[in-house]
Amino acid sequence: MLIRIPRRGDPKQSEITPERVYRARRDILKGSGALAALAAIRTNALPSDWIDSKGYAKHEPAPDLEITPSPYTTQYNNFYEFGTDKDDPMRHADAMTIDPWSIEVTGLVAKPGKYAIEDVLAGIDLEERIYRLRCVEAWSAVIPWVGFPIKKVLDKYEPLASAKYVKFTTYLNEDEMRGTRSFFSSIDFPYIEGLRLDEAYHDLAIFAVGMYGDELLNQNGAPFRLVVPWKYGFKSIKSIVKIELMERQPPTTWNNSAPQEYGFYSNVNPEVDHPRWSQASERVLGSGLFARNQPTLMFNGYADQVASMYEGMNLRRNY
């Protein structure tokens, strides 16, 4: 069963994209004949009607939310494995094989192993979560995700008492991911991210398997990705193949590449600028070239729910 749970701090109804808009890209492709070509080379880790089969129901968004039109969030992405231009993931990510898909759970857990995604998701009810997304590049969107709290997966494999952090790793296949073969890449692959265990167990932190009521597209991190709405978007790692429980803070991709620019925590904070630009405001995707930027909210608008996890921390030093 898919449950819609409104939350304080959710975006406004006017920020939410109707499902018909999300499906428009496929309609356009079909009209051009491209959809048939894509279908010939792509299979899904989960059946194309999997979310519907789980009992997905349409719900009215909370009255103070708005959703970003899905063509912006499916055609404007950062997924460096496929290139650094914003439309590279849309153009190249269908080369990624997502069937079959398995996830290795390792480290400080009682039940380590490599599990088929169907087994990872078995017995878990889906929810719709409408969250703000704030990119470290100072643009933002609001997306209706389909997923469930991270803790529902972690609890299956029983983290040990010594576990303090969770490390996530993205799928890597150089033959399918043209960006990983570039001599000009600014980061090393595979892509790695991490959370403190209490962050991963927070109810707002989810694994997503869909958006706009449909399965994830490859460029959006199919078939299984992280969504942590109070942190900058690069923390929400895509296409996860490995989850490792650790005692010590794991090294992460962007923090390794440029630690002075990308901290381990990367909580959205309008008072701490990126060394090369301000974080005080953000450009909303779909708002037009001449629209004014809107102010960025502390913890991306989720301060009431998450600020207590960082009490006593210097948020400038622990950025």
Q: Specify the pLDDT at position 61.
A: 62
Residue 27 is predicted with a pLDDT of: 45
22-58, pLDDT tens digit by residue?
A: 444 444 333 333 333 333 334 578 877 778 777 665 5
On whether the CB atoms of residues 84 and 179 are closer than 8 A, the answer is yes
Spell out the domain ranges in the chain.
Answer: 2-305
Q: pLDDT by residue (tens digit) across 302-318? A: 999 999 999 999 999 99
Q: Kindly report, residue by residue over 163-222, the tens digit of the pLDDT.
A: 999 999 999 999 999 999 988 888 999 999 999 999 999 999 999 999 999 999 999 999
Angle of CA points 211, 216, 220, to nearest 5°: 95
Peptide bond into 18 cis (omega under 30): no
Q: Please name the residues in contact with 71: beta carbons below 8 A apart, sequence gap of 6 or more.
A: 21, 24, 25
Q: Which CATH number fits domain 2-305: 3.30.70.890, 3.90.420.10, 3.20.20.150, 3.40.190.80?
A: 3.90.420.10
Q: Residues 122-141: pLDDT tens digits?
A: 999 999 999 999 999 999 99
What integer pLDDT is reported at residue 24 of this predicted model? 47
Say what the pTM is. 0.87
Task: Please name every residue paired with 267 in a beta bridge, in sequence order, or none if there are none.
Answer: 231
